[in-house]
Amino acid sequence: MDKKLLRLLARPLSQQQKTKLWRLLLRLRYRLHTRLGEYPDVLFKIYSLFDLYSDYIVNQDCALVIDAFPRSGSTFAVYAFHLAQQGHPVKVACHLHVPAHIIRACKLNVPSLVIIRDPKEAVSSAIIREPYLSIKEYLLRYKSFYTRLESCRGQFFLAHFDQVVNHFDEVIYKLNKRYGTSFQEFDYTRENLAHIEHQMHLRHQQYGGGAGQSYLPNPIKQKAKQSVDFRNNEMLLKQCDEIYQRYLTYFD
């Protein structure tokens, strides 16, 4: 190998170069996860091989799966659901954010709650949460998630982000009616909402970040979302919006 090339490779990286390299690796990981997330057999073999996400993956012991594209209300839903069960342990699989998770749940006949949110709102929130990823990558994940799930549309329960946040009691009621389950419905008391807010605050502390990365709405995050520029991804955003509009027709 050329000596100049060897010296170049041996040269220490600057902090800026290390940051760029790390972000590149994270993007590659996200793209790979999006792609593999369409294929349950492959994805879960990899998870099993490396013992990944074992506490989150659906299996026969799960009573419910709650999942969605990131920043679509699934964290609120999980906390609200557990709180509603009044201390009775109910195993919930959640937060994988790939269609393979719901497809696996359907094959196992495990009740599944899929949440959908307007793509522009969801992606704007996601890009603020993790700005090292690109708008394009998030839109591709949104497209992948909901397009792949249409093949098993009749096997999961669909809820909108607004329904989950503001009317989760009705969501659980309809979920019970759909699956013949008897989950307790969420009660929108001041104490319950404060408890969930506290849990989401603790989660935010665990994962870190500023106000823009918070799981709770706030003026800083709202202002940052309004500045997200989709102009270089208009065609992809249009495709995601078409999927979203199609899903809106699936609601009862």
Within a domain: residue 5?
Answer: no
Please say whether the beta carbons of 244 and 146 come within 8 A: yes
Which token pair is 230? 């989709």
Domain ranges, residue 227: 26-248
Within a domain: residue 56?
Answer: yes
Map tokens 């990365």 to a residue: 213
Within a domain: residue 14?
Answer: no
Distance CA 46, CA 122 (A): 28
Within a domain: residue 2?
Answer: no
Within a domain: residue 193?
Answer: yes
Distance CA 131, CA 210 (A): 12
Quote the pTM value: 0.92
Tens of pLDDT, residue by residue over 137-187, are 999 999 999 999 999 999 999 999 999 999 999 999 999 999 999 999 999
Please say whether the beta carbons of 99 and 153 come within 8 A: no
Residue 162 makes CB contacts below 8 A (sequence gap 6+) with none
Tens of pLDDT, residue by residue over 27-80, are 899 999 999 999 999 999 999 999 999 999 999 999 999 999 999 999 999 999
Amino acid in position 246: R
Within a domain: residue 86?
Answer: yes
Distance CA 39, CA 49 (A): 16
| CATH label of the domain that carries residue 240 | 3.40.50
Domain count across the chain: 1
Within a domain: residue 117?
Answer: yes
Please say whether the beta carbons of 140 and 96 come within 8 A: no
Within a domain: residue 199?
Answer: yes
pLDDT for the residue 98: 98
